[in-house]
Structure 1
Amino acid sequence: MVGTDGGAVTVSRTYDPANRKPSVAVLGALADVKNTHPAALSLSLHDYVDADSLDRLLTRKRGATVSFPMDGYSVTVTPDEVVLSVA
């Protein structure tokens, strides 16, 4: 889903936590926004957040939310959704 909020563009992608790690979902959402394959991204998630810790936190804590900046986006991850926002 794509929306606008006060001039900012927001993209939301849901994912199935039983089949996809949150860290993989983040890279997938960013790749979707950039219209490319996740392997073609010229960045490493580890440059922005500890991917293993992100996965552990979001798979073990119901209701957890993690937010961080990444590649010009504000990223918010919950146990089943990734939201990318850019102004």
Structure 2
Amino acid sequence: MSGPAKSRLSVQRQYDCSETSPSLAVVHTLADIKNCDPANLVDPQLSEYIDPDAVDRLVRGNEDVQVSFSIDRYRVCLAGTELTIRLHRS
């Protein structure tokens, strides 16, 4: 995964599906946002919001598919090899 482009409300990354699954890219990016190790990311847990395996099957290797979902206070969008996580505005 290449480094994040950060703003106060958004993080965008490019990732390589052959090296990192889309769901794992989400976990790593959320951990980066929360400034913690991915193994210690307790809240939010991805599997409480979506089926990570299903997302991986939908997105991996298919540049034409875009998947978006909300997790905790974030909006996640996977489109091809691009991952964007935005903070919901209150």
SS of match in other structure, 2:76: strand
Identify the structure with bigger relative contact order (alpha carbons < 8 Å, sequence gap 6+).
1
Alignment of 1:41-80 (within 5 A): 41-42=41-42, 43-80=44-81
Report the 3-state secondary structure (helix = DSSP H, G, I; strand = E; otherwise coil) of the residue aligned with 1:33.
helix
TM-score scaled by structure 2? 0.83
1:3 equivalent in alignment to 2:7:
yes
CA distance in 2, matches of 1:53, 1:60: 13
Percent sequence identity over aligned pairs:
36
Write the letter of the residue equivalent to 1:56: R
2:13 pairs with 1:13: yes
Asked if the contact 2:63–2:81 (Cα under 8 Å) also holds between the matched residues in 1, the reply is no
Unaligned runs of 5+ in 1: none
Does 2:36 align with 1:36?
A: yes
- Amino acid in structure 2 at the alignment position of 1:2: K
> SS state of the match for residue 57, structure 1?
helix
Asked whether the equivalents of residues 31 and 38 of structure 2 are also in contact (C-alpha less than 8 Å), the reply is yes
Structure 2 counterpart of 1:82: 83
Structure 1 segments, 4+ long, off by >6 Å, are: none
Structure 2 unmatched runs, 5+: none
